[in-house]
Structure 1
Amino acid sequence: MMGKGDSPEAQPAALAYRSVMEEYGYEVGKVIGNGSYGTVYEAYYTKQKVMVAIKIISKKKASNDYLNKFLPREIQVMKILRHKYLINFYQAIETTSRVYIILELAQGGDVLEWIQRYGACTEPLAGKWFNQMTLGIAYLHSKGIVHSLTPSLSAAGRDLKLENLLLDKRENVKISDFGFAKMVPSNQNQSVRSSPSHRQVNCFSHLSQTYCGSFAYACPEVLLGLPYNPFLSDTWSMGIILYTLVVARLPFDDTNLKKLLKETQKEATFPPNCTVSQECKNLVLQLLRPALKRATILDILKDPWVLRFQSEQPLHELKLLQAMCQPPSTVNRHQSVEVTT
């Protein structure tokens, strides 16, 4: 069975990878996504009688940097992640010419497609999806993992955005694409430097200097090229997503980088006909603000609007996140600088 988009010239290669997959019990079906280095296929796993997604990465197309550094890191990160609102990793298979990553299949498309088809979400639906995303991101942050950190300007689009929020057949959110997610070293949580991106001592305080992704979802400090807090970069992206869920358009115009930078310095505005509650608007404004005042994932979990639509209490994530933010018993003054807000 040829996949959508398989040209006659690609047929020998297609037959080769289908043969490899069949050996492992996977019947490869249609193409469901394309990336810089490979293609995502729907497949049937005959041994478990379930549908899965297979990301097939061509070693010829991928850069050495990606194959030797970022792909192993992606697999390492995904192996330790198990959460109902994240796309789960099942298996990685490597041959001389390709790497096959077997993932949970989300059969409902992505949230961007949903909005393009149906328009703005009702507030209860936005509340459901935002809550599910929040629980997934809280789980990541509690493990010291950030989603939107990316390695270089050649790897565009690997950040927290609507296309990376997939939907299962019951329209529950599944966060996907951990190609450039990163584990922040725990010892660096103690290392705090004076920076506009940094807000609290010992809580999400690791600063990064590398970013790439969709500028529409990028926080102002990233657009300015400043060292930034990747945990707070994630929560800015969550603010962009929440605004887009309830308004059906992005809050800032990203067609011109200079204009985008100017707009992100100001408070986001809602259309006059926007009927969402003031509580929802308040949360968006708490997320789309300078890093010194921006809500962390802990703040989001305790927000009144989030609590209104919360179907389950994230007790485990809260416990881990609060432990991360506890001040150490002794603080080395040469390594840490307290910042008050």
Structure 2
Amino acid sequence: MLACMRLESAGRQTEEEIQEFPKSVRKDSRLRKFARRVVRFFGQPLSHRLIWTVRQLDRPEESFDFLKYEWNNFTEMPRAESPTSKQFLHMSEVIMENGYMLGPKIGSGSYAKVRLVERITDGKILAAKVIDREKAPADYIQAFMPRELEIVQSVKHEHVAHVQEIIQTDKSVFIIMDYAQKGDLLEHIMNNGAPKENTTKKMFKQIVSAVNYLHEIGVVHRDLKCENILIKKNMDIIISDFGFSRRFDQNNKPSKTFCGSAAYASPQLIKGTPYDPRQNDVWSLGCILFILTCGSMPFDDSNIKKMVQRQKDGVCFPSKLKDKINPDIKALIRRILEPDPSKRYTTTDILNNVWLRSQTESNEDEEQA
């Protein structure tokens, strides 16, 4: 394959070069067009990075996004002198030195981006959370980031995003982790609507089992929301983004820090009263289950004062759905979204709930059959 792209003479015609490509490339119009552009653009032996790209031409379709992205990198990014281009080139060089190829951006925040990367040794597609040290607030760099890096390396659970490696430089931090091909839960619901009850059960049980594991090892997530619940290719769930996570006080000393998203926050956190961070995680789980069931948020956060009052009054289900929802689900949601934290379910209570247990037993019966 590589031999096809090492031009013996700069004067050879493009179509002659294309004829030397494998049939799998010539039959695919997208790949053929890409290959033709590469041959026209480069009339000399190819650079190390583009050789790697060309080597992917006869690979499965999921690699095509990398091909398009690499082409743009070579024809556009190196020519520009903007800060964005320099940052990209820095990231690309660092990531390649550590055995990865930098891919397209799939998510972003104020000081962190998530990009696809491909491990050169085996071609595995992973995700990289790239934290910009120069843009991140000082309190994040000094307090939150060290906690995040320590925690993500210590957690080992099938439904928590597995961190493969952490790469640190003076300018950036790269957290290389599992890639969830189906995107996040919010995006999935927006595109497909609320899932069927059996799917909701499976997803929610996986989410709760992961949070229960975190609490058992003394970790609270503190930013559980649908955007941080990712879906793998086989539809299994993984929890990600531990930017606000921390070890909680084993002596049950309450927290006072406001963090996370208001729409998923418990009344105690919003009001600024000391709270058990585990119970705040549980409240967030209730919001997630409500969204899985109804396809909408349980509380409108456009007016925080009104939202706190609605939280005190108890959760209300959409009128068009409330008669169609399984009563066991409604009862569970109410026990999780209980305003009084002393009466609110724990993760253990949720896992022992009749609705989740019956689902597990039915699945086991199906598997045995």
**TM-score normalised by length of structure 2:** 0.74
Could you tell me which residue of structure 2 aligns to residue 258 of structure 1? 305
Q: 2:308 corresponds to which letter in structure 1? A: L
**2:163 matched to 1:89?**
yes
Greater RCO structure (CA 8 Å; 6+ sep): 1
Could you tell me which residue of structure 2 aligns to residue 228 of structure 1? 275
Question: Aligned with 2:283: secondary structure?
Answer: helix
Match of 1:288 among 320, 337, 342: 337
Could you tell me which residue of structure 1 aligns to residue 359 of structure 2? 309
Q: 1:59 corresponds to which letter in structure 2? A: R
Structure in which a larger fraction of residues adopt helix: 2
**2:285 matched to 1:243?**
no
**2:173 matched to 1:99?**
yes
**2:78 matched to 1:29?**
no
Match of 1:76 among 150, 164, 167: 150
1:254 Cα deviation from its structure 2 partner? 1.0
For 2:179 and 2:86, locate their aligned partners in 1 and report how far apart those are by CA, in whole Å: 26
For 2:108 and 2:124, locate their aligned partners in 1 and report how far apart those are by CA, in whole Å: 22
Residues 125 and 6 of structure 1, relative CA distance in 2, 3 Å threshold: farther
Say if 2:248 and 2:277, in contact at 8 Å, map to a contact too.
no
For 2:360 and 2:239, locate their aligned partners in 1 and report how far apart those are by CA, in whole Å: 18
Could you tell me which residue of structure 1 aligns to residue 263 of structure 2? 216
For 2:149 and 2:233, locate their aligned partners in 1 and report how far apart those are by CA, in whole Å: 25
Residues 28 and 299 of structure 1, relative CA distance in 2, 3 Å threshold: same
For 2:302 and 2:139, locate their aligned partners in 1 and report how far apart those are by CA, in whole Å: 30
Match of 1:181 among 245, 250, 266: 245
Q: 1:172 corresponds to which letter in structure 2? A: D
Unaligned runs of 5+ in 2: 1-69, 364-369
1:308 Cα deviation from its structure 2 partner? 1.9
Could you tell me which residue of structure 2 aligns to residue 56 of structure 1? 130
Q: 2:331 corresponds to which letter in structure 1? A: N
**2:320 matched to 1:273?**
yes
Give CA-to-partner distance per residue, 1:204-242, whole Å, 9 cap, x none. Answer: x34101122211111111122110011110111111110
Residues 261 and 6 of structure 1, relative CA distance in 2, 3 Å threshold: farther
Match of 1:39 among 110, 113, 127: 113
Give the number of equivalent residue pairs.
285
Could you tell me which residue of structure 2 aligns to residue 168 of structure 1? 232
1:132 Cα deviation from its structure 2 partner? 0.5
Give CA-to-partner distance per residue, 1:299-337, whole Å, 9 cap, x none. Answer: 111100111223799xxxxxxxxxxxxxxxxxxxxxxxx
Unaligned runs of 5+ in 1: 149-158, 189-204, 314-341
Residues 312 and 135 of structure 1, relative CA distance in 2, 3 Å threshold: farther
Question: Aligned with 1:306: secondary structure?
Answer: helix
Give CA-to-partner distance per residue, 1:62-92, whole Å, 9 cap, x none. Answer: 1222122211110100111111101111111
For 2:77 and 2:185, locate their aligned partners in 1 and report how far apart those are by CA, in whole Å: 27
Question: Aligned with 1:310: secondary structure?
Answer: helix
Q: 1:29 corresponds to which letter in structure 2? A: G
1:176 Cα deviation from its structure 2 partner? 0.5
Residues 311 and 37 of structure 1, relative CA distance in 2, 3 Å threshold: farther
For 1:131 and 1:160, locate their aligned partners in 2 and report how far apart those are by CA, in whole Å: 15
Say if 1:131 and 1:309, in contact at 8 Å, map to a contact too.
no
Q: Which has the larger radius of gyration?
A: 2
1:6 Cα deviation from its structure 2 partner? 7.4
Could you tell me which residue of structure 2 aligns to residue 325 of structure 1? none
Question: Aligned with 2:126: secondary structure?
Answer: strand
For 1:235 and 1:16, locate their aligned partners in 2 and report how far apart those are by CA, in whole Å: 40
Q: 1:219 corresponds to which letter in structure 2? A: S
Could you tell me which residue of structure 1 aligns to residue 367 of structure 2? none
Could you tell me which residue of structure 2 aligns to residue 300 of structure 1? 350
Question: Aligned with 1:93: secondary structure?
Answer: strand
Give CA-to-partner distance per residue, 1:110-138, whole Å, 9 cap, x none. Answer: 11001111112211111011000011001
For 2:111 and 2:359, locate their aligned partners in 1 and report how far apart those are by CA, in whole Å: 38
- Runs of 4+ that moved beyond 3 A: 5-8
Say if 1:206 and 1:230, in contact at 8 Å, map to a contact too.
no
Say if 1:115 and 1:121, in contact at 8 Å, map to a contact too.
yes
Say if 1:44 and 1:51, in contact at 8 Å, map to a contact too.
yes
For 1:296 and 1:15, locate their aligned partners in 2 and report how far apart those are by CA, in whole Å: 47
1:286 Cα deviation from its structure 2 partner? 0.1
**TM-score normalised by length of structure 1:** 0.80
